[in-house]
A and B are shown apart, each in its own frame.
Chain A
Amino acid sequence: MIPRLAFLSAVKHWKRSLVVSGAVAVACAVMIAIGSLLNGITGSFYDSVIPNSGHIRIEDAGMSDSLNPLSLELLLPDADSLVARIKAIGDSRIEDVEPVLSFGALLVEDRDDIDPRNLAMRGMGVSPDTRFADNVRFTMKEGSFLPDGQGIALSERAARLVGAKLGTGLLVLVQDRNGEPWYERLVVTGLFATESSDFDESTFYIAESKAAAMLDAAGMAREIRLLLSNRDDADSAAKEITTAISGKSNGSPQAPATLRIQTWQKINASIFALLLFVKILLGIIMALFAIVSGTIIANSSLMSVMERIREYGTMRAMGLRARSLERLILIEGLMLGALGAALGIGIGFVIVAFLSKGGIDLGGIMESVGLSRFNRPRLDFWWFAFCTVTSLIVSLLATAKAARSVGALGVAESLATSS
């Protein structure tokens, strides 16, 4: 009976209902859009974790203080045996373990010219079937990624800068571990184009065995990366690995002093801090929208209720209890809130779908911190549910004041009110 009355009342005052639902819809849509944007940024961060660091990274302890992240002094001397020991643990959470040998190199145009072009870059020595270069493997434009471990894969941008093309040769100049210069002519076997111009202009890939041979670093690696089936297991898996490689099975595990074992959360602590900052800012914006919508709903409910005090007086005179009257008003508010939330979800969905198409260009700094420059907002069921519930709560809270005001009025007082 009461829900029906509430429904009829909402329909009778359809214009006001529209404004209330509209306010809820706008606030809900904004929350969905902002939340999905944030979700897109966070998603882009999670996507970047594997190519940037893996879920767990093992490297030389001196890396933290080193000015030169590509110093050959800081290679892991027994990387191959470390990889074997980690594999021997047989932990089902670990999907893959790989040594990665990064190094500084100069790419020089291969031509008989007095002034060949050159470009200082970071070389990545990886397994040809690496799981840690999906950002490159899935964005190959020409050729393929290190076929049979041969050649060099670099970006189209870098290739243009050093005048290289697919199939042409390129001189890779390095200084080996003994400080001796060394160069090799490698054929360009793959050209990629990721979304990050910074990455594209600074990174190339060759087979790890080739890198080790050029640097005189057989069996060595800059780092060992681990891919887990569930990234949330990183802490516990890191502890287990620490125990295994330090040779201790009891007591507190301690990594050998020369090693640094870090989880993806620690490695990306800066980005986490930045994401937190962005979350707080967007949270404030969403809260302000909720307040503005709340005041609009409160105002409309109040007006709607005040206008109908005599009607409510009559209903009370006919036997409707004060509590039932309050419930009627609250249910009406809830109905309008639900309608608004449904509309808001629809609008939010359309906005997110539209923005996801091309992505929003958030500027080049995103690349510099290892995230994608183009943010594609991502839909999340739980966020939709949260926005719906919040919209309903705001509607209820905003209507509660009006409901209490009317409930507190006596029957005679209500009937005597002239509006």
Chain B
Amino acid sequence: MELLNIAVRNIRRNERRSRLTIITIVIGVAILMNMQGIYRGLTTTIYGHMMAMDTAQVQIENATYRVDARRLPLDKTIDNPAALASMIRNLPGVKAVSERIDASFEITNGKEGVRVQARGVSHDEARVTDLGKSIVEGRLFAPGEPGLVIGKGMATKLGLKIGDAAWFTALDRHSVRNLESAPIVGIFEFGFPLLDDYMIYLDIDQARQFLDLGKVATRLVVRGVDPIASASLTKEIAAAVAKNGSATQENGKILTVYEWKTFAENLVSTIETRLQLLLSILVVLFSLIIAGIFNTMAMNVQERWREIGTLRAIGIRRAGLERIFLLEGSIMGIMGCIIAAVPATAVGLWLGVWGIDISGIMPRDIPIPFGSVLHASYSVIDALRAIIAGVGAALLGSWFPARRAARLPIAEAIAAVR
């Protein structure tokens, strides 16, 4: 307790110096606290939207599909997708499984045509992604029903309405061009132009028939019960597919199970690069803060040589003396964290509750599904991490000067002219 009093007294004695040191800690801790929340909010929003709109959590493909994925091949398919889906559906942690066929179509209103990605989906698609929730007009087609669900952007630009007939054309599995028409039964809006303008959905059996594909699918998509545990779900499904999946395939086809990130590689790599840059910047910032604290404490020790000598002479041990300086550092660290909590909480509340409306800031054609409002997402761990970093930086900065103080010979310290 006595040591604590000495430490507090010394902090108060050099108020201006202590204040400046605390300011650096406040800045570092506040930045760290908020950066984590902003980063988590950003990734949760973007990743969540990506899974909900397009990728779901896990996908299963023919092992040779990925390397040619850009051309949406129809010759690298999954056999007996219904049996495989049924097997996966029974795994623990799996909420829904949908069969898909992806192909390149051209859709036309009779006057103007546009190349789009067509997605034949089974009736479980609405449970795997948010397609069902995103329908703003009409409805999703019933199983086996001929009909198209198109994006709002496409509907507006092609002037198509519910009930209108749209013509679509594509090369089938044998590169034969087929042409067919179907009514528009639904219009969706994800708020993501890449999908709203260039994606159409149709029933998987209709797609199979049109593309002469028999009973195959180009992929299975899976949604888990836990929306965050994609990696573990991928592992479980991969193990199950490795064990029983080959039995469902003909001619020794091998299947591969991917986590959703594979299908949003551009997005994920971009965000993860930003995280690495951010981490590097934070490391440099905290190094600077540690250097500042080190400087303050080193000066502190130098200024108080005679006092240190006296304290040692009246019986305070080396460890005790070391503790005084470490306590000083810790107190400044803790005070820094407490003060930092005020602006960090204010910013956190603002970003967490109201968020930033970025719909007017972000260009519409940027291929990142930000959504319209960016919310930060905070957790207790963020605060703990920031507190540990703040106090840790203060302790680290104080450690060498404290050791130096403790090792000063008594006579030398008392004799010092300062």
Contacts and interface: CB of A to CB of B under 8 A. Distances in A.
B81 interface: no
Given A67-B154, A116-B175, A285-B281, A303 B299 contact: yes
B303 interface: yes
Contacts of A363: 266-274
A269 B272 CA distance: 26
Contact of B273 (A67, A362, A369): A362
Given A104-B115, A296-B295, A369-B367, A364 B267 contact: yes
A68 interface: yes
B368 interface: yes
Contacts, number: 164
A303 B288 contact: no
Nearest to B281: A285
Nearest to A307: B303
B20 A292 contact: no
Interface stretch (B21-29, B126-134, B219-227, B240-248): B21-29
8 contacts: A23-B292, A67-B153, A71-B114, A270-B363, A274-B366, A303-B296, A361-B273, A365-B366
A233 B174 CA distance: 53
Given A288-B285, A299-B17, 5 more contacts: A118-B71, A161-B68, A299-B21, A299-B296, A365-B367
A206 interface: no
A201 interface: yes
B175 A273 contact: no
Interface stretch (A14-22, A127-135, A329-337, A380-388): A14-22
A187 interface: no
Nearest to A162: B71
Nearest to A363: B270
B292 A67 contact: no
A30 interface: yes
A108 B363 contact: no
A9 to B, nearest CB: 15
A67 B173 contact: no
Contacts of A157: 70
A213 interface: no
B16 A117 contact: no
Across chains A and B, which 6 residue pairs bring their CB atoms closest together, nearest first?
Answer: A363-B270, A364-B266, A270-B363, A67-B157, A296-B292, A68-B114
Contacts of A23: 288, 291-292
B180 interface: no
B178 interface: no
A26 interface: yes
B270 A364 contact: yes
B338 to A, nearest CB: 18
Contacts of A119: 70-71
A7 interface: no
B175 A277 contact: no
B265 A118 contact: no
A213 to B, nearest CB: 22
Contact of B363 (A68, A274, A293, A295): A274
Contacts of A235: none
A165 to B, nearest CB: 16
